[in-house]
Amino acid sequence: MATGMPPVKYSLIQLQGGLDLVTPTLSLPPGIARTAVNFEVAITGGYTRIAGYERFDGRPNPSDAVYNAITVASVSGLAVGDTITNLAATSSAVIIAINGTSVIYTKAVSVFTASEGIYVGGVLKTTVTSLGATAAISSSLSSQYTYLAAEAYRSDIGAVPGSGSILGVAYYNGNVYAWRNNAGATAMAIYKSTTSGWTLVPLGYEMAFDTGTNQLYEGNTIVGQTSGATATITRVVLSSGTWAAHTAAGYLKFASVTGTFQAGENLRIGATTYAHATATQAAITLNPSGRVEVAIDNINGTTRIYGADGVNYGFEFDGTTYVRIRTGMTTDTPTHVAVHKSHLFFSFGASVQFSGIADPYSWSPIVGAGEIALNAAVTAFLVQPGDQSTGAMAIYSDDNTSILYGSSSANFQLVSYNIGTGAKAYSCQNINVSYSFDDRGVMNMATTLNFGNFDSAALTLNLRPFIADRRDRSTASGVNREKGQYRIFFNDGYGLYVTLANGSFMGAMPVQFPNPVACMSEGQRADGAETAFFGSTNGFVYRLDAGTSFDGFEIAANMTLVFNAIGSPRLLKRFRKASLEITGTSYADFYFSYDLAYATTDIGQAAQTLYASSLVSSYWDTSYWDFFVWDDRTLAPSEVEVNGTGENIALKIASNSPYFEPFTINSAILHYTPRRGLR
**pLDDT tens-digit readout, 90-109:** 999 999 999 999 999 999 99
Poorest-pLDDT segment among 1-5, 162-166, 473-477, 555-559 = 1-5
Question: In the predicted model, what is the mean pLDDT of residues 408-424?
Answer: 92
CA 357/CA 174 separation, integer angstroms: 28
* More reliable by pLDDT, 577 or 388: 577
| DSSP letter assigned to residue 516 | -
The predicted structure's pLDDT at residue 628? 45
pLDDT-derived band of residue 585, with 50, 70 and 90 as boundaries?
confident
From residue 586, give the alpha-carbon distance in Å to each of 482, 548, 562.
Answer: 20, 11, 28
CA 353/CA 314 separation, integer angstroms: 11
The predicted structure's pLDDT at residue 638? 75
CA 334/CA 314 separation, integer angstroms: 6
pLDDT-derived band of residue 4, with 50, 70 and 90 as boundaries?
low
CA 27/CA 647 separation, integer angstroms: 16
Residue 609 scores a pLDDT above 50? no
Residue 389 scores a pLDDT above 60? no
Residue 584 scores a pLDDT above 90? no
CA 662/CA 5 separation, integer angstroms: 42
Question: In the predicted model, what is the mean pLDDT of residues 335-346?
Answer: 97
Task: State the average pLDDT for the chain.
Answer: 91
Residue 290 scores a pLDDT above 90? yes
The predicted structure's pLDDT at residue 464? 96
Query: At 615, phi and psi to the nearest 5?
Result: -70, 125
Residue 453 scores a pLDDT above 90? no
pTM for the model stands at: 0.93
- What count of other Cβ atoms lies within 10 Å of the Cβ of residue 27? 9
Asked whether the beta carbons of 346 and 308 are under 8 A apart, the reply is: yes
Question: In the predicted model, what is the mean pLDDT of residues 501-509?
Answer: 93
What is the side-by-side order of every strand in the sheet holding 429-430? 429-430, 434-438, 441-444
* More reliable by pLDDT, 538 or 608: 538
CA 550/CA 514 separation, integer angstroms: 7
pLDDT-derived band of residue 246, with 50, 70 and 90 as boundaries?
very high
Residue 221 scores a pLDDT above 90? yes
Asked whether the beta carbons of 245 and 179 are under 8 A apart, the reply is: no
Residue 312 scores a pLDDT above 80? yes
The predicted structure's pLDDT at residue 582? 87
The predicted structure's pLDDT at residue 616? 34
Q: Which helix (H) or strand (E) is 448 found in, with range?
A: helix 445-451
Helix (H/G/I), strand (E/B), else coil: 141: helix
Q: What is the percentage of the chain residues whose pLDDT exceeds 90?
A: 82
Q: Which helix (H) or strand (E) is 541 found in, with range?
A: strand 541-544
* More reliable by pLDDT, 620 or 320: 320
Q: What is the percentage of the chain residues whose pLDDT exceeds 70?
A: 92
Poorest-pLDDT segment among 5-9, 52-56, 542-546, 631-635 = 631-635
Residue 634 scores a pLDDT above 80? no
Helix (H/G/I), strand (E/B), else coil: 217: coil
List beta partners, residue 533. Answer: 521, 543
CA 474/CA 453 separation, integer angstroms: 20
pLDDT tens profile 434-447: 999 999 999 987 66
* More reliable by pLDDT, 676 or 205: 205
Residue 388 scores a pLDDT above 80? no
Residue 442: name the closest of 403, 411, 477 by CA: 477
Asked whether the beta carbons of 673 and 588 are under 8 A apart, the reply is: no
Asked whether the beta carbons of 533 and 541 are under 8 A apart, the reply is: yes
